[in-house]
Structure 1
Amino acid sequence: VTRQSRQNYWTPINPDKRDRLQYHQEIDFDTLEPDSDIYAIASAGVVSVTPVSLDLTARVSLTDFEQQLRAHE
């Protein structure tokens, strides 16, 4: 269980309404938060579960949520 990183990891390249949106991925590993979703996927190579609501905030304790998920292993 991770939290959403504050780091943007992609930037649009030539955004043209006629073409598909293309992007460039760039992760700054020096400032990457070790408890974030990007770190879990890009650095640790594991699946990330990040609970968020529509306004991109977590309304639950991540520790409690992780314990509930692990109870079903």
Structure 2
Amino acid sequence: YICHWAVNLGFNIQEPPFDNPDIRWAISYALDRDLIVEAGWEGASTASELFLPHFPGLSPFLDNIQDLLAEYPTT
């Protein structure tokens, strides 16, 4: 069956070290999303930069962070 339930990783950003955006970007950069999809879902899904993939309401957000994604690649 098809399940459109996004799986994501969250942190308490009020406490160190996760209150530092550079730490969070480093973790994001270190994750091999394609490998996670392959290992966890046997390739039956796709990786996404957003926590709700293919959600039209978030398109402006993704457009606005293109410079950050270029500086801190996530894949």
Sort the TM-score into its range (normalised by shorter chain): under 0.3
Normalized per residue, the structure richer in helix is 2
Normalized per residue, the structure richer in strand is 1
Q: TM-score, normalised by structure 2?
A: 0.24
Q: TM-score, normalised by structure 1?
A: 0.24
